Every structure is written in C-alpha cells, then in structure tokens.
A = this chain, B = another copy of it.
Amino acid sequence: MTDLQYCYMMCITDITKDGECMFVQIDFNSDEAIYLQLRNQIIIGIAMDAIKEGDPLPSVRQMADNIGINMHTVNKAYSVLKQEGFVKLDRRKGAVVAVDVDKMRVLDEMRRDLSVVLARGICKNVTCEEAHQLVDEIFQAFSRGHSK
C-alpha cells in the first residue's frame, strides 16, 4: 500500500485543545478495531508528551464528531484507557491523563507482546542488531524517551 493510499483512507483529527502537534489517525479499513486504534494513538500521544499528565482529553462527543465515529466507540476507548491505568475519569474535566505506573506489570506485558513481534521478525531474518536499531529509532521519536 502506497503512502498516498494510506493517507486517503485515514481520518485525521487533532487531539489537543490548542491544536499543536498531536493527531489521531484512524484507518477504517484496518482489521484493528477503531476503539483500539484510538486507544493506541492516545497512548502514543502521551508517550510523545503531546498530552501531558493532568491534561484533559477532548469530550467523548467532541472526539467522536471530529473523527466521524460513534460516541460509544470513543467511550469504549476511554474506558479501556482507564482500565489500563492511563487516564482517570474526572466528573468535571472528563477524562484526564493520569498514568498509573506498575513497573513489574508493564514489563511482563511488554515481554509477552515483544515475544510475538520479535518472533515474527526472527522468522523473516531480522537480526538482533536491527531490532535494537528499531527500538532506538522509536525511543528517539518519542520525546519522553530520551529524556531518561
């Protein structure tokens, strides 16, 4: 799939109130559920510091209208984010970013997820060095990553 086609099918909307740098891109032709795509985009936004601890997410209705999806779908994404410890639901401000750090748990999750991703790569002759390069590349792309 070319980049052009990819762009065409994408639905792009701003996630931050001031319209600075974070965008949500939903691919309606993807086999990944829309609410999971939305959840992942928001997590990436947090990792990039585009949305910071304490920042409120757009309201369910606003987000749904911007992306052009159902309110229920946005609601589901926010619920999952709460369940996974990325946001808290505030009665006045709606969903606000509040990351709940459980180092052991997250490392276990990553080990499981990485095993599958890396196994796919190893089958296709991806070397350990190439994997490390990818990790560095991605960490550099996320502002919070290399500040550590």
Q: B30, B117, B146: which contacts A128 (Cβ < 8 A)?
A: B146
B138 contacts A90, CB within 8 Å?
no
Whether the Cβ atoms of A142 and B117 lie closer than 8 Å is no
Is B91 within 8 A of A114, CB to CB? no
Residues of A in contact with B, size category: 35 or more
Q: How far is the CA of A103 from the CA of B129 in the complex (A)?
A: 14
Q: Produce 1/0 per residue, A81-125, CB < 8 A to B.
A: 001011011111100001111110011011101111111111111
B residues within 8 A CB of A99? 123-124
How long is the Cα–Cα vector from A92 to B135 in the complex, in angstroms?
34
Expressed in whole angstroms, the minimum distance between the Cβ of A123 and any Cβ of chain B is: 5
Cβ of A86 and Cβ of B123 under 8 Å apart?
A: yes
Is A122's CB under 8 angstroms from B144's CB? yes
